[in-house]
Every structure is written in C-alpha cells, then in structure tokens.
Amino acid sequence: MKVSLNWLKQYLDINLSPEELSEILTGIGLEVEGMEQVETIKGGLEGVVVGKVLECGQHPNADRLSLTKVDIGNGGAPLQIICGAPNVAAGQAVMVATAGTTLYPINSEEPLVLKKGKIRGELSEGMICSEDELGIGEDHSGIVVLPDDVPIGTPAREYFKIETDVVYEIGLTPNRSDATNHIGVAKDVAAYLKVNHGHSGEARMPSVDDFQPDNNSLPVEVVVEDTEACPRYAGVTIKGLTVGESPDWLRNRLLSIGLRPINNMVDITNFILHELGQPLHAFDLRQVTGNKIVVKALPKGTKFTTLDEVERELTGEDLMICNGKEDGMCIGGVYGGINSGVKDDTTDIFLESAHFNPKWIRRTSMGHNLRTDAAKVFEKGSDPNIAVYALKRAAMLMKELGGGEIASEVVDIYPDPVKPAEVQVKYGHIDRLIGIAIPRGEVHSILEALEMEVLSDGEEALTVAVPTNKSDVTREADVIEEILRIYGYNKVPIPEQVKTGINIAPKPDPDELRNTIGDYLAANGFHEMMALSLSESSYYKDMYKSVGEEELVYIHNTSNVQLDIMRPDMLFSGLNAVVHNQNRQQVDLKLFEFGRTYRHGEQGIDEQRHLSLFMAGERYPESWLDNRKGEADYYSLKAIVSNVLARLGLNGYQETAINDETFAFGMQYHRGQQVLVQFGKVSPRLCKQMDIRSSVYYADFKWDTLLKAVRKHKIEYQELSKFFTVRRDLALVIDNSVKFSDIVAIARKVGKKLIQDINLFDVYENEEQLGKGKKSYAVSFIFGDPTKTLMDKEVDKVVNKLIEAYESELGASIRR
C-alpha cells in the first residue's frame, strides 16, 4: 500500500521529516518497506519550457516532417526543431524539451533522453512534446497546444504545478483493515503523537455537514435480496454532471500513489477509496433500467462481460448489482461491467457505497482472478458504518467538480446495523503480554486516542468498545496489541540478563523418533510435505460427515476467507497436495507429513499430533536397471505402515478391518480402544469430488499415541542362535473371508516359541479347481530353538498340530 506524505498532511498538522514519519509508521506496526521522493509527473519535467513557434515550414527532405523555429524565452537564438506532429503551426505556444532533457513517455517502458542531432539532414535541437511524451496523458496524435497568453520560457514544472512528495510503501498485514486508507493511517499517527509527544491527537475528517439533496427528481429503488452477502447498501443519484478532466490537486493526489487519472467522476471514486477506505461505484443512470437496483446472485453459467472486455461465466455465488430487468451491471465489490460505468457523455449517475461480506468478495475475486483494490479492501473487512459518510463526501465532490445537482435522497438499506465489539481486557494480562507494567491512566489515554470507548472499569479489568473499522480486533489479545502499538514497541525494555535452565530431553526423544521415521520414509522414496494447518469448512459440511460441525474450530481469516477452520484431520491436506501435483503432471506420488489437527472436545480444543502417508500412481520409479512395475496399492502401503511400527519397536497390536466414509477398505491397528494407525484405500467418492484421477492410499498414524506406546516399550536384546532353523511349507485352501492374520494368530498359539517366522509367499485363486468362495494360501513356517538343533519329529509334531488347528478352526483343507 502506498501512503503520500502530502496527502496525510491534509488531515494532520505535523512538522516531521520523512525519516521521522517513517520511524513512527514502523513503530505503530505499519512497516515501511520503502520510501521514495516522487514528482506528480515523473522526472518533474526538468528541461521542459513553454516555447513559441515562430516559423513552421516543410522539411526539405521529408514530406511528413516540419522544420520549425521556436523561441524558448532564454534570450538566445530560436531553436531549430524537426517536428512530425500534424497539428504544429506558427504562432502556437507549445511545450519544448531541450537537449539533455530526460522524458518518461506513458506509452514507453524506457525513458527518452534528448540529444541534438540531424533528422533527414537537418539539425534538430529539441522536441515539441505531446501529452504522452510529457507523461501527462496518453494522447500521441499531436503536440500539446497551450493558450496564447502563457508566458514564453515558463518552466513546465511551474505550468503544470508539479508537486514533490514523499511516498511510503507500507507492508500492510491482513489484520489492519483500519489502515487501508490515508485517514486510517493519519488516525494511527495522531494517536501515537498524542500519547507520546503531546499532539492534539485528532485527524481532521472532511466535513459533510453541507450535504443536502437539491431535489428528489430521480429516485432509484434498491432491493437487496441477500443481506448476508451485502449487509449494507447505500446510494444517491446525481444529475446534470459534466465529465471532464480532474483539477490539479486531485490528479496530483492520485499520481503520487501511482494511479492514473481518468476523468473527474472516476477519479473521485478512486480518491475516496484511498482517503476513507470505502470503495464506491458510479453507474451511468442510462443503464439502470427502470431506475431500480437489485442486489442478488445470478444463476450459475450466466455470461457477464467485465470492464476489461473479458466475458466471464458466473458461478451462482457471485454477488451482482443488477438493473430493473435483473441484468448484471457490476460484480459487487469486485469489478464493473463494460457498459454500466461512467462515459465521456454521461450526465446522470447513481453512486453506490456498500459493505459486502468478505467471504463472498474473496471467493469471487479469487475465482475470477480479479484482484482489484476494492476487492482487497472488502476482503480485509471494510467499515460498514462509514458507507453513508463516504457517499456524501463523494457526492459533494462530484457536484463541486462536475456541476449538476443531487437528485435523490440517500437510499440506505441496513437491516442489521453492525455495533462496536465489546471486549473485556484484564490489566494483569496487559502487563503479562507486553512485558512491562503500564500505568492504568496511560492505558486509558491510549484507548481514548484509538477511539476505543471504555464502557466499564474495575479493579482487575475494563471493557472497551472497539470501533467498527477495526474488524479484526475481537479478542483481548487484539486490544492489548493495539495498546502496545501506540505505547511503542521500543519502550519495552530488553532484559539485561538472559536466564535459562537445564533442559533434560525426554526418553525417547520425540524429535529423534520423528527424524528416524522421516529418514526411513525418505529412503523409501517418500517426500516430506508441509501443508497449512487450515482447511475449508465446506469439506466437512458438504463432502465428509465423519467430523461433526460442533467439532470444527473456526477462525477469522481475512486473508483467505475460504480457509476458515483449523484442520480437524490430515486427510484433505494430503488430498489437496495430490490434486496440486497431478495438475502439474506429477502423478507418481509418495508423500508424508508430520502435523497437528484441532477439534473441539469436552475439555476445550483438542490438539493432536499425526503422521500421514499418501501414495498414488506407480509404486516404483522408471529405471533401466529396475524393471519392476505396478501401481501403489493397499499392500505396498501396508508394508510401509508395518515397517514404521517395527522401526518404533511396536508389536503385539490387534488388527480390525474398517470400511467407512474415509476408506473404501482398510485396516486399523490398535491396542484395545487405543488406535495406533488407520490405513487403506481412500473412498473413490472423495477422490472424485476432489477431482483426483487415480486411486489414493492413505495412512494416519496417531503420533501422540505412538509416542506413549514407545515410552512403555522395553528394548530386549537376543543372542543370535548357533543352531540351524528348519522350514516347512503348507498350502491351505480356505474361505475368502479368512485373513492371513488369522493364520498367524493360530500359528503363534500352537507353535509358541518354536515358530520364529511366518510368511505368505503365494496366493492362488481358481474357482474350478478350488471351489466357489475359496482361495489357496502358500505359507512358510521357520522353526528354531536357541538351545539345540531341532529334530524332524519335533517339527513334524508341531506341523501336525497346526494342520489340525487350521482344519478345525478355519475349515481349511491342506493341498498335498
């Protein structure tokens, strides 16, 4: 955001150097990222003077060029200048750029440095300038012709009343909705000066006391169909206006902050935006059919051509300003239509001043990629209670600069007025958060300077009313931050001592475990991702009902209103990452993230740590050396999950199949009610709704639970056996419903300490040979005894018991 020093001085009596003001702005939380001395016309037109064309004849070697003699009033010989403009003539008063002058033409990115030189064999000692070449307009069709009574030799700087200004580039944070305009900044500076330097502490607000409708000859009816999207809509009609060039003072204000003047009507709306932080829109009354304004969302798919001549398709959630026929004229709070704005022949206008819901504006602005100044103000949260004041201010300026008369009463649709937020602030919390005890009287002075009314005051706390222009100041901590800004960050002393304590790392060290697992995953082709801890509530309202709305932790996010909750799970963070990568031709994905989730619980907000894994696409990378193929699947994810638990030394958990809204099929490892991890194939319905074009496999480790389990786990060391092991294989024909975990459980029970390892090495399915609903598992068993070499009869005895158990408990038959 750009802030002009000359502009600020309209509202503040200050005698500060640019450097002193820069220090104050940074000190009150408006960080100055850059400071520049500027001219209202770039370069200040140094070397450009008023000249008089004494002679004008045909160039001897070029039909379209004129050879002129120009007196520039310096007492010397007239300059010979070659000119290509079709409108140059003897006797004219013109703007002459002499040799050595640097100009900054509007239609060129490069500066123009003038030198004496020959053009088609004739000497040219300067240039007679057009609007474009001077940087005062875009007209390049001919030279600027001045009135005859302008004194010869008058510097262009003096003629155009060029101002020197200092402009600050402010790094405005999303929470500073009150500082999006010059008066907002002036009020902040005034408050700081009042508290710290005895200033009067008042920023002068332009008076609108003289506002008075001249008649009610052109009333416009306003209907707001959606008061949630548009809580306030005000407007007034002005007729008999003359659209023309703005006066120098208005042009200079806009030029100082990098805005190009257009005409007096449009310039006034831009001026009010940067003066008061209230976006306005002026409609040509000829386009307001039936003298009626309807504020509503038009059906999805409706075509609308905006001011930049681009035809856009509306989403059904774009708030539109429509005429009596309900034809769209403007995307409310974002961008005007191609036909409804002020034109050179406009005489009657309807002037709009509204307050729009930040969520609606953000959604539309981002959806159509229209990042306008007005949209940015509404997204941060405009002040609804300044809308009519700004409307009157603009109407009075339009009447003053464009003639005409105010031809209606002010229409103001404001069914549910926004009241100042009431916040209780404890004195003890002020001292604790700031780090210094501020006297109560000074706290009251700061609040008064900030226009925060103290509603009640007690021994331990006070209650303040927060002005509606500070839409982000809603909590005690926000008010304390406001107090600190004006008190002065630099006044909080830095401790002379640094105190520390001896920290004993817990065992096992959580960071070490995290790094161990992260290293393992990275070594197996996974990439670590870091998603936002924010999410969209619409996921959990419209797509995914496994998290109740009462569990969602809502936040006030003015920079992106769609991300309005703290994420309650890790699922959508990963799915968004998958979509993002797939849209950029990265389809083979292995991602992991250590992160936190947030839900409302019985004891307040429940914050939990998680490790999430996501797999999609091919399991193995393409390589001439490794010809393994195959997409990632449930079993490839299961192998990683099992290995993670093994690296943590965790075993002895139960397995339960899951099939819910998250997983098409999956597994849960748990110890009783204590869930360690859930994993499986993400529901195809969710993938389709997220526009994911492949299967996604997802694992969610409850990291806090794992850490507790690891702390209880004791590492046991076992000597390597000196004796041989024995292998036996069984081919079991079983029902499809039997799981491998059932086979393992029986083997552990029967074989006890003699069976060291169990492995499924083949699965065979053939309905003709095995029967309907049957499958064959080929399972290997490794037998061993650390104290002796096992004999065949000992191994056979256990194998026979296994066969009996499988036949009786699982209904298995043995393929021999």
- Compute the average pLDDT of residues 802-814: 92
Burial bucket for residue 598 (CB in 10 Å: 0-12, 13-18, 19+): buried
Confidence of residue 280 (pLDDT cuts 50, 70, 90): very high
Contact 679, 655 (CB under 8 A): no
Q: What token pair was written down for 695?
A: 């299967």
Burial bucket for residue 31 (CB in 10 Å: 0-12, 13-18, 19+): middle
How many Cβ atoms sit within 10 Å of the Cβ of residue 284? 20
Closest CA to 559 of 301, 87, 50, 173: 173
The tens digit of pLDDT for each residue in 770-796 reads 889 999 999 999 999 988 999 999 999
- Compute the average pLDDT of residues 222-237: 95
CA-CA distance, 133 to 732, in Å (whole number)? Answer: 91
SS3 breakdown of the chain: % helix, strand, coil, rounded to 5? Answer: 30, 30, 40
**Predicted local distance difference test score (pLDDT) of residue 713:** 65
Contact 518, 594 (CB under 8 A): yes
CA-CA distance, 517 to 172, in Å (whole number)? Answer: 40
Contact 404, 242 (CB under 8 A): yes
The tens digit of pLDDT for each residue in 151-199 reads 999 999 999 888 888 999 998 887 788 889 999 999 999 999 999 888 8
- Compute the average pLDDT of residues 266-271: 95
Rg (CA), the chain: 38
CA-CA distance, 253 to 264, in Å (whole number)? Answer: 13
Q: Is 176 helix (H, G, I), strand (E, B) or coil?
A: coil
The tens digit of pLDDT for each residue in 487-504 reads 988 888 887 877 777 777
Tell me: pLDDT of 397 over 80. yes
Q: What token pair was written down for 574?
A: 């990963």
Sequence-distant (6+) residues with CB within 8 A of 415 are 227, 231
Q: What token pair was written down for 185?
A: 């900044």
CA-CA distance, 471 to 453, in Å (whole number)? Answer: 16
Closest CA to 587 of 579, 596, 575: 579
SS3 sequence of 648-665:
CCCCCCEEEEECCCCEEE
Confidence of residue 79 (pLDDT cuts 50, 70, 90): very high
Q: What type of residue is 201?
A: G
Q: Is 46 helix (H, G, I), strand (E, B) or coil?
A: coil
Percent of the chain with pLDDT over 70: 100
- Compute the average pLDDT of residues 713-724: 78
Closest CA to 589 of 532, 647, 659, 637: 637
Length in residues, the chain = 816
Q: What type of residue is 611?
A: L
Q: Is 565 helix (H, G, I), strand (E, B) or coil?
A: strand
User: How far apart, in Å, do the first and last CA atoms of the chain sit?
Assistant: 82
Give me the half-sphere count of Cα atoms (radius 13 Å) on the Cβ side of residue 50.
19
Q: What token pair was written down for 30?
A: 């408006």
Q: Is 666 helix (H, G, I), strand (E, B) or coil?
A: strand
Confidence of residue 715 (pLDDT cuts 50, 70, 90): low
Burial bucket for residue 791 (CB in 10 Å: 0-12, 13-18, 19+): exposed
Contact 222, 295 (CB under 8 A): yes
> Which sign does the torsion angle of CA 716, 704, 678, 647 carry?
negative
The tens digit of pLDDT for each residue in 561-589 reads 788 999 999 999 999 999 999 999 999 99
| H or E stretch at 647 | helix 634-647
Q: What token pair was written down for 793?
A: 């009869």
Tell me: pLDDT of 636 over 90. yes
DSSP state for residue 539 in the 8-state scheme = I
The tens digit of pLDDT for each residue in 672-694 reads 889 999 999 999 999 999 999 89
Q: What type of residue is 499?
A: K
Q: What token pair was written down for 248?
A: 């120098």
Q: Look-up: residue for tokens 């959990």?
A: 540
The tens digit of pLDDT for each residue in 297-337 reads 999 999 999 998 899 999 999 999 999 998 999 999 999 99
Backbone angles phi, psi at 683, to 5 degrees: -50, 125
The CA–CA distances, whole Å, from 398 to 236, 337, 347 equal 12, 21, 11
Q: Is 478 left (phi over 0), alpha (psi -120 to 50) or beta?
A: alpha
Contact 6, 274 (CB under 8 A): no
Q: Look-up: residue for tokens 């100041």?
A: 473
Tell me: pLDDT of 733 over 80. yes
The CA–CA distances, whole Å, from 478 to 425, 433, 447, 553, 698 equal 10, 11, 13, 19, 39
Closest CA to 164 of 39, 19, 254, 258: 39
Confidence of residue 509 (pLDDT cuts 50, 70, 90): confident
| H or E stretch at 785 | none
